[in-house]
Amino acid sequence: MKILFVEPPKEFWFVMGEYLPPPLGILQLAAFLEEKGDDWDLEVLDCQAQRVGWKKLKRRLESSDPDLVVVSALATCNTYTVLRTVSLVKMIDPGIKTVVGGQHFSALAQESLEKYPEIDFIIRGEGEITLLELAKSLDQEKAYVNIQGLSYRYNGNVMHNPPRPLIRNLDNLPLPGYHFVEDHAHRYHFRMMAKQGAGYAMVEASRGCQYHCTFCSQWSFWNGRYRHKSPGRVADEMEYLYQEMGISFLWLTDDNLGLGPHTRKICDELINRGLSEDLKWFVQARSDAIIKNQETLPKLRKAGNYWVMAGLEHHDPATINSYQKGIRTEDSRQAMDLIKDHDIFAQATFITGDRSDSHQSMERFREFVNHVDPDLAIFMILTPFPGTALYETAHTNGWLEDYNWSNYDMVHAVMPTEHLTRNEVQEELFLCYRDYYGSLKRRITGVFSKNQFKRTTYRYMAGQGLLQSLRGLIE
């Protein structure tokens, strides 16, 4: 059986500059099938890295002649690129089976199978074992009824098999299949963040999160559970990427790895293996974790961590509480200062366009961000992703004015607030960037900063048309 994994052509997220990421989700799935499956012919087609546009994709699908096509989505905003890919597959040969998965399709499995006949199967939740069992069933022409986590059509009805329990020990997963994309691995890059030639790869040290923020689809996707790989295993992955693939800029995909004893052990592994001088890596952390575990910061830096990003979200404690985020706005400044004090680049993300936001509150929001003063502030618009509590509320209350999934990228406003129209929300986003990066003092400090990442980022941003792109979104 021939299984083709496709990362479709997609637009990049211009807010973080130009980048080309490896498609970790499907690399992980392909590696799992390679290790546990039968002797199947597996191929990964990364349209971005292989410079395959829509026309060429049709030819590649024809020449690949697969039996099963597995398409990667990543985020809700990529829904249509996935659908276009599976439509192409069906145009070429309706007998080829198509399977999609990830957060968006897991949350909207019923609706998606009803609406899009070009999708044969949806894998809900964790992908590895369900995909393996599906491939075996297809190969051996067996029924799917016992495959947990699978949704499909049967006799004109949409069927949802019971959910699949999570893998107990993530160390049992094979190393992600970066070898499937070895020929073009040198093309992966993140221009704003990494030096030329450093490459760009992702390492997944954990899955899920213990918190339950109302706007986040991450925790519900992983059933509110948090599992992590062992420190040795995480270091193995990082070592492999550096030694075998020559990639030295690594992005930890973890939304909430925490900075406690577990992270310190990862750092120790990297230091003891002599990797800390060569690697540069990025991680996300909560502001409360940064403050609570501040003794980790020197070790983090010593182990090659140069970049920490924290979701600080909003200036108003009531809004933070309504999101169930569990952080305190008064910690935001201290968390950023602590990171900077350890010569680590401090990035923060903020969410605009809360239902309670008005022009006045957005003024206070901008004052707050100026006070918190992260090295890099990324502003996003509150977006109800399917699978979140926020989506349920917004959908039920009729707040959503736009159901075009391409716009669910946290840059386009898809709903108004109680005081602002959708277009005014869009305008406020533009003002946030203009206000923050318009400051001459901030730009000069950035361009001449002692911190190498800050210098590179500000110099890079100076040449980008971010503000023009954002202004273009205002009607």
Least distance from C-beta 209 to ligand SF4, angstroms? 3
Q: Given the DSSP bridges, would you call strands 201-203 and 150-154 parallel, antiparallel or unpaired?
A: unpaired
- Decide which of ligand B12, ligand SF4, none touches 131; Cβ closer than 5 to 8 Å per partner kind: ligand B12
* Stretch touching ligand SF4 by CB under 6 A, among 55-63, 83-91, 213-221, 382-390: 213-221
Least distance from C-beta 322 to ligand SF4, angstroms? 13
Least distance from C-beta 255 to ligand SF4, angstroms? 3
Q: Which is nearer to ligand SF4, 385 or 453 (CB)?
A: 385
Q: Which is nearer to ligand SF4, 62 or 392 (CB)?
A: 392
78 touching ligand SF4, by CB under 6 A? no
103 touching ligand B12, by CB under 6 A? yes
283 touching ligand SF4, by CB under 6 A? no
Token output for 316: 């108003």
Q: Binding to ligand B12 (CB under 6 A): which residues in 231-250? A: none
Least distance from C-beta 440 to ligand B12, angstroms? 28
255 touching ligand SF4, by CB under 6 A? yes
Residue 116: which residues within 8 A CB-CB, separation 6 or more? 83, 86
Q: Which of 242, 385, 433, 453 binds ligand B12 (CB under 6 A)?
A: 385
Least distance from C-beta 215 to ligand SF4, angstroms? 7
Identify residue 167 by its one-letter amino acid code: I
Phi/psi at 79 (nearest 5 deg)? -55, -45
- Say if residues 384 and 415 touch (Cβ distance below 8 Å): yes
Token match 């949350």: residue? 107
Q: Which is nearer to ligand B12, 236 or 337 (CB)?
A: 236
Token match 């100076």: residue? 462
* Stretch touching ligand B12 by CB under 6 A, among 16-24, 193-201, 235-243, 465-473: 16-24
For 61, left (φ over 0), alpha (ψ -120 to 50), or beta? Answer: alpha
409 touching ligand B12, by CB under 6 A? yes
Angle made by CA atoms 420, 328, 436, in degrees to the nearest 5: 50
- Say if residues 131 and 32 touch (Cβ distance below 8 Å): yes
List, in sequence order, every residue forming a beta bridge with 388; answer none if it has no partner: none
Q: Which of 121, 219, 249, 345 binds ligand SF4 (CB under 6 A)?
A: 219
Q: Which of 245, 240, 250 is nearest to 184 (CA)?
A: 245
Q: Which of 151, 218, 248, 449 binds ligand SF4 (CB under 6 A)?
A: 218
256 touching ligand SF4, by CB under 6 A? yes
Secondary element (H or E) of residue 266 = helix 261-272
SS (HEC) of 317-348:
HHHHHHCCCCCCHHHHHHHHHHHHHCCCEEEE
Rg for the chain (alpha carbons), in Å? 22
What is the per-residue burial (b if ≥16 Cβ within 10 Å, else e) of 62-79?
A: eebebbbbbbbbbbbbbb
Least distance from C-beta 112 to ligand B12, angstroms? 12
13 touching ligand B12, by CB under 6 A? yes
Residue 336: which residues within 8 A CB-CB, separation 6 or more? 310, 346, 348, 372, 373, 374, 375
Identify residue 198 by its one-letter amino acid code: A
CA distance 364 to 358: 10
Least distance from C-beta 206 to ligand B12, angstroms? 8
213 touching ligand B12, by CB under 6 A? no
- Contact string (CB under 6 A) for ligand SF4, positions 325-344, x = contact: x-------------------
255 touching ligand B12, by CB under 6 A? yes
* Stretch touching ligand B12 by CB under 6 A, among 120-128, 269-277, 293-301, 360-368: 120-128
Secondary element (H or E) of residue 285 = none
Q: CB-hemisphere CA count at 13 Å for 167?
A: 18
- Decide which of ligand B12, ligand SF4, none touches 76; Cβ closer than 5 to 8 Å per partner kind: ligand B12
If DSSP codes are grouped into helix, strand and coil, which group holds residue 182? helix
Q: Which is nearer to ligand B12, 217 or 293 (CB)?
A: 217
The angle, 0 to 180 degrees and rounded to 10, between the axes of the packed helices 79-92 and 54-64 is 50
31 touching ligand SF4, by CB under 6 A? no
216 touching ligand SF4, by CB under 6 A? yes
Q: Which of 68, 70, 147, 235 binds ligand B12 (CB under 6 A)?
A: 70
Token output for 364: 């206070």
Token output for 445: 């400090």
Q: Which is nearer to ligand B12, 102 or 231 (CB)?
A: 102
66 touching ligand B12, by CB under 6 A? no
The separation between CA 32 and the C-alpha centre of its own chain, rounded to angstroms, equals: 20
Size of the site for ligand B12 (CB under 6 A): 43
192 touching ligand SF4, by CB under 6 A? no
Q: Which is nearer to ligand B12, 277 or 347 (CB)?
A: 347
Token match 């230091």: residue? 271
- Kindly list the residues in this chain that would bind ligand B12 in the complex (CB under 6 A): 10-11, 13, 16, 19, 21, 23-25, 28-29, 70-78, 99-104, 123, 126-128, 131, 202, 204, 216-218, 251, 253, 255, 380, 385, 409-410
- Kindly list the residues in this chain that would bind ligand SF4 in the complex (CB under 6 A): 209, 211-213, 216, 218-219, 255-256, 286, 311, 325
